[in-house]
Chains A and B, each alone.
Chain A
Amino acid sequence: MSYDHRRTRRLFTGLVAGLGIAASALADEPLKTCFLYSNPIGESGWTYQHELARKELVAAVGNKITTKFVENIAEGPDAERVIRNFVQEGCKVIFTPSFGFMEPTVKVARQAPNVIFLNGSGYKTASNLGVYNARYYEGRYLEGVLAGAMSKKGVVGYVGAFPIPEVLQGLNAFAQGMRSVNPNAQIKLIWVNAWYDPGKERDAASTLMKLGVDVMAYATSGVSIVTTAEEKGVYTLGYYSDVSKFGPKTNLTSIMHTWGPYYVKVIEDVLAGRWKSGNVVGGLREGMIRMAPLNAAVPADVRERFVRAERDLIEGKLHPFAGPVIDQDGKERVPAGKVLSVEELNSMNYLVQGIDGTVPKK
């Protein structure tokens, strides 16, 4: 019965749309909003944070929308098929949060001009395709401040995923933050060349601990670095989600990707008919990244220093890449008084001073 009803209504809205007053008729139809995830949702990590945001969206906008998601879709032809399905099923807004989903999204967006697409971490836009990303490196700077203050030996470990600009930005910002507190501290760096391989991540973490680091950060998705460090009493700085439950004694804080408020805003804009395509990049100020509560192990003076740096970043008084930025070879990349430009950030391919490692060639 409800099916018949829906069909009648769809037919009716179709007729009305034909008469040219589509907007008013569509208003009472819930906005179908669909999400494509590249990984299984799990309990922490990149996809998990997007799923949290979807739930926040549902809680905030309520019955004005319906949502649907598909998880664990490989980046490539499969993604295009699923996005196309979304369009055929009547999705009006489609979120594709993964860099590897950019090309399939661009392709389908071209053929479905009445659907709004939002690609997370890509850069190609169209009139019906917006992109969004966050300044993760602001959080990395703050983690660096903690690392510099909490490391007794001044030797800090970092497990890299792949040497792409986004990861290098985070690593370099981390080094800048660390050296702002402890100018002699050094980072030992290991690339695992994987986004996710808990076994290999654990090996990298153990190796760094054997090499004498007493604080560790990482750019991979597993939590085995945190659990391994907890076992040995070495401090960690988390990424993607609040991972404190994996290292209750040693995880100092985490950078939490927080897409909820942004998703709510996008949907409210779409519902109000004022959404415009663009490239949205937010950081601590916009709440697109947040820092998890500090561990009890962080003493009051360090806490104060952290809060001050966080406030300065939010207020724009502090920039992680404010000059002078000196690279490993002693070359000045940003002169004093200047700040690294967005183009320079997006093409970052060097390591700053204080990092004892190399950028493997791509």
Chain B
Amino acid sequence: MENHLITSIISATIICGTPLIIVAIGTLVAEKSGVLNLGAEGMMSVGAVAAFAVAFSGGSPLLAVLAGMAAGCAMSLLFGFLTLTMLANQVASGLALAIFGVGLSAFIGKPFESAPIGIVPPIPIPVLADIPVIGPALFNHQSLVYFSWLLVGAVIWFLYRSRWGLVLRAVGESPSAAHSVGYKVIALRYAAVAFGGAMAGVGGAFMSVYYTPLWAEGMVAGRGWIALALVVFATWRPLRVVLGAYLFGGVMISQLFVQGSGLKLDVPAQFLSALPYAATIIVLVVISRNANTIRLNSPVSLGQPFRADS
């Protein structure tokens, strides 16, 4: 029974953290190229509704995720056009994208409001899933959970082991230097922004097709904003993003288990709601308590427009 409970908590924590990881890792790549896109909440919402529409119309979960990915990507390209081509302010454009995306998703989603769709079954990984306690907790999940792990691995390899990853980081640090040695700064930034948007769309698809599964206006419920904050608090390091996301999920889920077990907690209601946020922030701040770490890790040109001809 004790084991069973621990299994449940770990398993629920991983599911809770998954959309945050996918969205935050996408955002991290975009920010590493020097582009600050605050529109994650909007891109997630549009991704969620697009994925749900496909799933509801009889598409497979994979097709639904691809639709969410395409929708998030399209939204981010709109942002890219405004900020990279038209050189609009990134912060303002990103905020506008967030608000626009939430509204647009509500509009598109009207016919799907609370329509039920089937559950996506978990896929147990052979052998590993049979390990007592941690087996079912770690290796019996829906496909997108495994995808989030592969994504993190791939992004770490790309950013720190591949030549193009080095170029991308160089573009984020010093776009004019990268430009002067012949790299197409704007094109690379477009690619990074598109990747960020695609991953936000996948995160949205996870919410509406895998997690709840339903479409309802406002169902992303701030997870896009949490993902954005995770990137900063993780000081742009992928593994810390994962740590932060699971920590957030873990505190959230444990808090529910503690309540459900009838433990007497004499604390204000608002404190319980704030706990996952507070815990995540505190731990990530402690990890990077040296102010220089944040300064040294943040891409130097983050948020600054770049004009190739200047």
Q: Which A residues form the contact surface with B (CB < 8 A)?
A: 40, 42-44, 157, 162-163, 188-194, 196-200, 202-204, 206-208, 210-211, 222-224, 227, 231, 245-246, 356-358, 360-362
Q: Is the CB of A362 within 8 A of B269?
A: yes
On chain A, the residues within 8 Å of B218 by CB distance are 40, 196
On chain B, the residues within 8 Å of A246 by CB distance are 114, 116
Nearest CB of chain B from residue A81's CB, rounded to whole Å: 19
Q: Is the CB of B259 within 8 A of A189?
A: yes
On chain A, the residues within 8 Å of B261 by CB distance are 188, 211
On chain A, the residues within 8 Å of B260 by CB distance are 157, 188-190, 204, 207-208, 211, 357
Q: Is the CB of A207 within 8 A of B256?
A: yes
Q: Is the CB of B214 within 8 A of A198?
A: yes
Nearest CB of chain A from residue B112's CB, rounded to whole Å: 9
Which chain B residues (87-120) contact chain A, with CB distance < 8 Å?
A: 106, 113-116, 119
Known: A40-B113, A207-B8. 17 other contacts (CB 8 A): A43-B114, A43-B115, A162-B269, A188-B260, A190-B259, A196-B218, A199-B16, A202-B212, A203-B256, A206-B8, A207-B12, A222-B212, A223-B114, A224-B214, A227-B213, A357-B262, A360-B271
Nearest CB of chain A from residue B203's CB, rounded to whole Å: 12
The residue of chain B having its C-beta at the shortest distance from the C-beta of A207 within the complex is B256
The residue of chain B having its C-beta at the shortest distance from the C-beta of A230 within the complex is B116
Task: Kindly state whether residue B264 has any CB partner on chain A within 8 Å.
Answer: yes
Band of interface residues on B: 35 or more
- Cα of A157 to Cα of B265 in the assembled complex, Å: 18
- Cα of A222 to Cα of B259 in the assembled complex, Å: 20
Q: Is the CB of A199 within 8 A of B266?
A: no
Which chain B residues (275-300) contact chain A, with CB distance < 8 Å?
A: none
Nearest CB of chain B from residue A225's CB, rounded to whole Å: 10
Q: Is the CB of A199 within 8 A of B272?
A: no
| A-B residue pairs, 10 tightest by C-beta | A356-B262, A360-B269, A43-B114, A193-B273, A210-B8, A207-B256, A361-B268, A190-B259, A197-B221, A224-B212
User: A163-B269, A189-B260, A360-B265 are known contacts. Are A245 and B12 too (CB-CB below 8 A)?
Assistant: no
Contact digits for B220-236, partner A, Cβ 8 Å, 1 yes 0 no? 01010000000000000
Q: Is the CB of A222 within 8 A of B12?
A: no
Q: Is the CB of A204 within 8 A of B269?
A: no
On chain B, the residues within 8 Å of A192 by CB distance are 256
On chain A, the residues within 8 Å of B253 by CB distance are 203, 207
Q: Is the CB of B16 within 8 A of A203?
A: yes
On chain B, the residues within 8 Å of A188 by CB distance are 260-262
Contact of A358 among B119, B219, B264 (CB under 8 A): B264
The residue of chain A having its C-beta at the shortest distance from the C-beta of B218 within the complex is A196
Task: Kindly state whether residue B25 has any CB partner on chain A within 8 Å.
Answer: no
Nearest CB of chain B from residue A130's CB, rounded to whole Å: 30
Task: Kindly state whether residue B3 has any CB partner on chain A within 8 Å.
Answer: no
The residue of chain A having its C-beta at the shortest distance from the C-beta of B269 within the complex is A360
Q: Is the CB of A40 within 8 A of B114?
A: no
Nearest CB of chain A from residue B282's CB, rounded to whole Å: 20
Q: Is the CB of A199 within 8 A of B267?
A: no
The residue of chain A having its C-beta at the shortest distance from the C-beta of B110 within the complex is A40
Q: Is the CB of A199 within 8 A of B207?
A: yes
Q: Is the CB of A199 within 8 A of B257?
A: no
User: A188-B262, A199-B207, A224-B214 are known contacts. Are A43 and B113 too (CB-CB below 8 A)?
Assistant: yes
Task: Kindly state whether residue B211 has any CB partner on chain A within 8 Å.
Answer: yes
- Cα of A245 to Cα of B72 in the assembled complex, Å: 31
Q: Is the CB of B212 within 8 A of A361?
A: no
On chain B, the residues within 8 Å of A357 by CB distance are 259-260, 262
On chain A, the residues within 8 Å of B268 by CB distance are 360-362
On chain A, the residues within 8 Å of B114 by CB distance are 42-44, 223, 246
- Cα of A223 to Cα of B114 in the assembled complex, Å: 8
Contact of A245 among B116, B212, B217, B256 (CB under 8 A): B116
Task: Kindly state whether residue B131 has any CB partner on chain A within 8 Å.
Answer: no
On chain A, the residues within 8 Å of B106 by CB distance are 40
Q: Is the CB of A231 within 8 A of B119?
A: yes
On chain B, the residues within 8 Å of A227 by CB distance are 116, 212-214
Task: Kindly state whether residue B270 has any CB partner on chain A within 8 Å.
Answer: yes
Task: Kindly state whether residue B239 has any CB partner on chain A within 8 Å.
Answer: no
Contact of A42 among B212, B217, B262 (CB under 8 A): B217
- Cα of A44 to Cα of B113 in the assembled complex, Å: 9
From B221, B260, B264, B270, name the one whose CB has the most chain A CB atoms within 10 angstroms.
B260
On chain B, the residues within 8 Å of A193 by CB distance are 269-270, 272-273
- Cα of A223 to Cα of B252 in the assembled complex, Å: 20
